[in-house]
Amino acid sequence: MAYTLPDLPYDYSALEPYIDEQTMRLHHDKHHQTYVNNLNAALKDHPELSELPVEELMGQLDKVPEGIKKAVRNSGGGHANHSLFWKLLSPHFDTDPEGPLREAIDSKFGSLEKFKQQFTEASLSVFGSGWAWLVKDEAGELKIVTTANQDSPLSDGLTPVLGLDVWEHAYYLKYQNRRPKYVEAFWHIVNWQEAASRFDSELAGIGSES
């Protein structure tokens, strides 16, 4: 089976004014589709790997042949990261986390605002292209990490709870070089319900289809 591009769970314009329709179309239809195409091409001779859910594939890179490992890491990570990213954005603006996730954030970071500040700082610290993440480690503890390019926290045994794409293609049409404005806008469109579900889940799969 080949990996496929998941549909957006909302209209392309649903996140305006925070993310514009043109950016969403290019980001989803072009950039994400390219990761899917390149991943399928890399795995064309390895059907046993392409049958794995993409989150399992990214968590088992040691099983990927050395000759295609870089391509799978890059394109598989791009597919996994974006498949989750779309779900972590919501047209229901300006919500806050609740329940166990909120309690864990308050306990770990002191408050929601302190968490947002630290996450924002991490997002702005990424040099070049990459991602900022709120992850859960194997002990169930929250931490903020960053990854370069399309590297996935799944490859480090971490469960992504919240993620922000800080590649320029995610924001340049609207925000140009003003990444801080993009990160500020992100907080208005976080799908905290999805993040909470991932925090609560034992498996925390991203639900991508292969």
| Binding-site residue ranges for Mn(2+) | 27, 82, 165, 169
Instruction: Show binding-site residues.
Output: 27, 82, 165, 169
Q: How far is residue 201 from each of residues 22, 69, 74, 113, 162, measured CA to CA in Å?
A: 33, 29, 26, 24, 13
d(CA 57, CA 71): 12
Structure tokens at 46: 């390895």
d(CA 171, CA 51): 33
CA-wise closest residue to 147 among 32, 58, 40, 36: 58
DSSP three-state, residue 130: strand
Q: How far is residue 24 from each of residues 11, 114, 120, 141, 174, measured CA to CA in Å?
A: 9, 29, 21, 32, 11
d(CA 11, CA 128): 29
